[in-house]
Amino acid sequence: MIKVTAGTDAPERCSQAFTVASVAVASGVDVSLWLTGESAWFALPGRAAEFELPHAAPLPDLLDAILAGGRVTLCTQCAARREITEKDVIDGVRIAGAQVFVQEALGEGTQALVY
């Protein structure tokens, strides 16, 4: 489980989270990426394409890889604060809250990382 709290406000931390998640998916790990705080915007179509960080993999490619082999969840409260609804998000992104987060984070064999 990887929780990313940063977006364009902390681009290196944001990119690290997406990179680690995509490498984990490519390695066969069951990955759950949670978008919280400023990373919530990346649940919207086209927003990842606006992200730029020199010497980093393109965020849309990383997000596509994660969606292809893992789960991406947008925090319910973070979505509500930004007026993002289920009809707004990229296909494959779900909106869920703290109960689901805690259930996943405390699952047997789960390693949680926060960026």
**Tens of pLDDT along 36-56?**
999 999 999 999 999 999 999
Residue 9 phi, psi (nearest 5): -75, -25
CB hemisphere CA count around 24 (13 angstroms): 21
Summarize the confidence of residues 15-35 as an average pLDDT: 98
What pTM was computed for the model? 0.95
d(CA 112, CA 106): 9
Amino acid 1 reads M
